[in-house]
Amino acid sequence: MKYWKRKELVRNLRGQGLSYKEIRQRIPFTIAKSTISDWCKDIELTDKQKARLSAKYDILHRGAKANQVKRAEEIKQIRRLAEVEISPMNRNEFKLAGLMLYWAEGAKSRYIDITNSDPLLIKFMITWLRNICRVPEERFRVSLHLHSGQNEEQIKKYWSKITNIPICQFNKSYIKKEGSGYRKNILYNGTIKIRVCDSNLLHRVLGWIEGVTKNKWAISSIGRAIPS
């Protein structure tokens, strides 16, 4: 079909009060919504046609919203059921869970360092360091990475409450200046680094990780082992 015939067909359908989506469904060729909009921008719809399109939009919007709410409830249910699958951990399970997090998130040289912005992860790892690694309270040191304009004292109080580490054990914060090329989605409470200056503890943790990687673990439910 020639260009002018395609344009004429589209304009005629729009003149009948059809939506862009309805036009694309009626025509025997592919066309972008932006092209339809450009071709039909001077066509004035009647009040009746506008009311029809508005009602159609409202129905579609309500349907989409209902689906969104339904999906949100499905996700909540999935997460509730998954949460109860995790029974209370014994000490060894808690040790392994923290070890896996440290393997993924922790420093592997010089000192014990954990850097993150997730308060739940930080709270978990602080508990792990206290209860599994037996880190004395006075050995913890904290530093914050913030963006220019954030309230440093307020954020220190926030992380002090999360970690139960007194502010006197916080080192000087690192402030990222504006226009320095860093990402713009500023973390509300910044990023926290927990440090324990104990190289022996670090090597012990790394030894635990090596022990996991060299071990063989069984999947008892199907009776086979996965080799290391």
pTM for this model (two decimals): 0.66
* CA distances for 75 relative to 71, 86, 120, 154, angstroms: 6, 17, 20, 34
Domains contained in the chain, CATH given: 3-79 (no CATH), 91-226 (3.30.1330)
pLDDT by 10s per residue, the chain, length 228: 888 889 999 999 999 999 998 999 998 889 899 999 999 999 999 989 999 888 888 888 888 888 888 899 999 999 999 988 888 889 999 999 999 999 999 999 999 999 999 999 999 999 999 999 999 999 999 999 998 888 999 999 999 999 999 999 999 999 988 765 555 556 689 999 999 999 999 999 999 999 988 876 644 444 454 444
Instruction: Report the distance separating Cα 45 and Cα 175, nearest Å.
Output: 56
d(CA 124, CA 101): 9
